[in-house]
Homo-oligomer: A and B are copies of this chain.
Amino acid sequence: MANGVTMTKDAVSAAAWTKKDLLGLRELSVEEIRLVLQTAESFREISLRPIKKVPALRGKTVVNLFFEPSTRTRTSFELAAKRLSADIVNITAQSSSLTKGETVLDTVRNLEALKVDILVIRHAAAGVPHLIARHAAASVINAGDGAHEHPTQALLDLFTIQEKKGRVAGLNVCIVGDIAHSRVARSNIWGLTKLGARVTVCAPPTLLPPQIEQLGVTVSHRVDEAIRAADVVMLLRIQHERQEAQLVPSLREYRLRYGLDRERLKQAKPDVLIMHPGPVNRGVELDSSVADGPYSVILDQVTNGLAVRMAVLYLVSGAPKVEEES
């Protein structure tokens, strides 16, 4: 039985991965982004097999260290690790000794003393994974830090665009929603512009960070116009907290001005891709008719996220090759 990963020549001959950590797309070169996407391509097929498991990371230890709750991202990393045969331990902030006042770095130092290989970190504060990475010998994967970066989300988005459109370069990508508070937007802006896409961001002024243009994006307040020009429309979740903070007048108002429904979609290109990092606020930023419609690739994003996370775990673990399982 040949359960091993068959890497394409291209993937293998590409620049070898040299980074200990994956902290953000800002830090990645175009070649490194391409290497992740190529590696993910070769891992994608594993989850379609009857036996969804390869021994690539057998005997490695991965820790999901989540200081913010997340079932979706945690589960995606957990399955990615298990399908690579790694051992994985879940630690959430509620149950951690943080409640005894221990600092984040003490928690990490203790995990390192247990000889863990990879720390997957989510934290409500921007920069915490970077801080940890500087102090840890283990690899650190940023699974979302504050409003800063969520690199595996952007990589899975790039993978999905590449898969559906055959390329990223030259595409018009329109990101609609709460840009100011979105790590998904920020990571995608870095990744998309590096790979040569033109990015337009579209949001109420209160949800746009100042000087966002400096990241190489165009700002538009006319959502219909932006959607008409887009090859890809990426919707962001609007948090109820924003309404409470009076950054948007009401969810109903937001929907009318920025929500994507069947009517507004009619103006889009006939081969537009509709993307959303999930979970979708149905009836707010995205109508169910669109979320579940023919242009939506939202569930492909989830599937590709698993392959991308397998690739990232594999690359940072520094495993030089994927062995055949006998």
CA–CA, A73 to B93, complex, Å?
Answer: 15
> What is the chain B residue whose CB lies nearest that of A66?
B95
A91 touches B75 (CB 8 A): yes
Chain B residues contacting A114 (CB-CB under 8 Å) are 47, 75-76, 79, 302-303, 306
The answer on a CB contact under 8 Å between B59 and A50 is yes
Q: Are A72 and B51 in contact (CB under 8 A)?
A: no
- A89 neighbours in B (Cβ, 8 Å): 75, 78-79, 82
State which size class the interface on A falls in: 35 or more
Cβ A52 vs Cβ B48 within 8 A: no
Q: List residues of A (177-226) whose CB comes within 8 Å of B's CBs.
A: none
In the bound complex, residues from chain B placing their C-beta under 8 Å from that of A50 are: 59
* Interface 1/0 per residue, A62-95 and B, CB below 8 Å: 0000000111100110110011000101011001
In residues 15-74 of chain A, which contact B (Cβ within 8 Å)? Answer: 47-53, 58-61, 69-72
- Smallest beta-carbon distance A238→chain B, Å: 12
CB of A115 within 8 Å of the partner chain: yes
| Chain B residues closer than 8 Å to A280, beta-carbon distance | 102, 106
Smallest beta-carbon distance A281→chain B, Å:
7
CB-based nearest B residue for A106: B279
Contacts of A3 in B (CB 8 A): 59
A14 in contact (CB, < 8 A): no
Tell me which residues across on chain B come within 8 A of A110, comparing CB atoms.
72, 278-279, 299, 302
A116 to chain B, nearest CB (A): 8
Q: Are A48 and B303 in contact (CB under 8 A)?
A: no
Q: Does A262 contact B (CB under 8 A)?
A: no
Note all chain B residues with C-beta closer than 8 A to A71: 91, 95-97, 107
Q: How far is the CA of A226 from the CA of B275 in the complex (A)?
A: 62
| Binary B-proximity of A293-314 (CB < 8 A = 1, otherwise 0) | 0000001101100100000000
- The list of the 10 closest CB pairs from A to B, nearest first, reads A51-B59, A113-B302, A53-B59, A102-B279, A47-B115, A82-B87, A71-B96, A113-B299, A113-B303, A97-B279
List residues of chain A with CB under 8 Å of any chain B CB: 3, 47-53, 58-61, 69-72, 75-76, 78-79, 82-83, 87, 89, 91-92, 95-97, 99-103, 106-107, 109-116, 278-282, 299-300, 302-303, 306
